[in-house]
Amino acid sequence: MASRFGDFRVVKPLIEGGTATIYLAENNAHGRVAVKVLRKADARARRALAREYRLLSRLEHPSLLKVYAFGTSPQPYLAMEYFPGPSIRLWLRRDPGAVRRKVCAILEGAGAALGCMHAQGVVHGDVKPENLLLSEKGEVRLIDLSTASTPWARRLRLAGRRVGTVGYLAPEVAAGAVAHVGSDVYALGATAYELLTDQAPFMGGSRESTIKRQTRGTVTAPSRLRSGVPQAVDAILLRMLAPYPSARPVDAALAARQLNKALEGAPLGGEE
C-alpha cells in the first residue's frame, strides 16, 4: 500500500470494496479526508472515478461529499470529505430501530441531494442503502457517483453489466432504458420502503423473478408489514414504486418531503 496519494498521507484503511479501497488520510489544507483508491486500475474504472470527481466538483450540497483532488499516481485516487458514519446498510444490520427513528432525516437528506443533482442534469443511477451514509447525529451523505450520468453521457456499462442494483433499479432501466430522474425516484422509494419495513419491496429469489415482480408492480403496502406506518405513506411509496415512469412523482425532493409529512408523529422506533 502506498503511504501517500498526492498531498494526502494515508493513516489507515477504512473500507475494502469490490473495486476500490477507502483510506483515512490527512492533509494540511483539509485535515482528515477519505481517499478512494482503485485496486484494479483499468481504463473503464479510471474514467468512472474521474467522472465522479468532475460531477462532485460542480455539485454543492450538504448531503453530498465535498471532493478535493483526483490523481492517477501511484494509483488512481479520489480525495474527498471524511464523513464519520457507516452506510445505512450497516445500520440496518446493527440497529434497524435506530434507522426508523432517523428515517425522516435520511429521506430529507437523500431527497434534497437528488434534487440538487437533478437540477444540474445529473442522474445518480444507483440509490440504495449501501450508497447512503448516516452519522449518529442523523447527518446524511449520498455517495458513489461513479455510475452517475448526464443527458449528454452515453449509456453506461461497467464490466459488461448494466449500471444499477436489482431491486432498486427501475424496471424500464433493467429492460435497457437509460437511467433518468424517474428511475432515481424509484430507487429512493425502494430504499425508503426498506428503511421502514426492514425488507426490500421486491427482493427474493433470482434476479429474473425480482425484475418480474417489479415489472408487475406487485408490492405489499408497508403499513401491513410494520405497525405504525401511516396509510398515507403507502400511497406515496406505491406511486414512487410504480412500474411505469409516467405514474411516478417527478421530483425526488418533493416526494421525500411528502413522505416526511406523512410520517410526522408515527411510532416507528420500536420492534414488532
Dmax (CA) for the chain in angstroms is 54
What is residue 182's predicted lDDT score, i.e. its pLDDT? 96
Burial 244-264 (b: 16+ CB within 10 A, else e): ebeebbebbbebbbbbbebbe
Q: Distance (Å, rounded) from C-alpha 201 to C-alpha 183?
A: 15
Burial 113-131 (b: 16+ CB within 10 A, else e): bbbbbbeeebbbbbbbbbb
Question: Would you state the cell numbers that stand for residue 115, as one nine-digit string?
Answer: 434534487
What is residue 156's predicted lDDT score, i.e. its pLDDT? 46
What is residue 270's predicted lDDT score, i.e. its pLDDT? 53
DSSP, collapsed to helix, strand or coil, labels residue 259 as helix
H helix count then E strand count, the chain = 10, 10
Q: Distance (Å, rounded) from C-alpha 271 to C-alpha 187?
A: 25
The H or E element containing residue 234 is helix 231-240
* pTM assigned to the model: 0.91
The answer to whether the beta carbons of residues 130 and 35 sit under 8 Å apart is no
What is residue 214's predicted lDDT score, i.e. its pLDDT? 87
DSSP, collapsed to helix, strand or coil, labels residue 37 as strand
Q: What are 157's strand-pairing partners?
A: 162
Kindly list the structural domains of the chain, giving each domain's residue range(s) and its CATH number in brackets, ordered by start. 4-81 (3.30.200.20), 88-263 (1.10.510.10)
Residue range 154-183, pLDDT digits in tens? 444 443 445 678 889 999 998 888 899 999
Residues forming the active site: 126
What is residue 153's predicted lDDT score, i.e. its pLDDT? 55
Could you say which residues of the chain have pLDDT below 50? Answer: 154-161, 271-272
Task: Calculate ∠ Cα 252-256-258, nearest 5°.
Answer: 115
The answer to whether the beta carbons of residues 107 and 194 sit under 8 Å apart is no
Phi, psi dihedral angles at 127 (to 5 degrees)? -75, 130
Long-range contacts (CB closer than 8 Å, 24 or more residues apart) made by 197-203: 197/222, 197/225, 197/226, 197/229, 198/92, 198/96, 198/226, 199/225, 200/167, 200/168, 201/167, 201/241, 202/167, 203/166, 203/167
Q: Distance (Å, rounded) from C-alpha 218 to C-alpha 52?
A: 34
For 131-191, the DSSP string reads: GEEE-TT--EEE---TT-B-TTSPPPEETTEESS-TTTS-HHHHTTPPP-HHHHHHHHHHH
Residue range 11-39, pLDDT digits in tens? 999 988 778 999 999 999 999 999 999 98
What is residue 42's predicted lDDT score, i.e. its pLDDT? 83
Q: Distance (Å, rounded) from C-alpha 106 to C-alpha 88?
A: 9
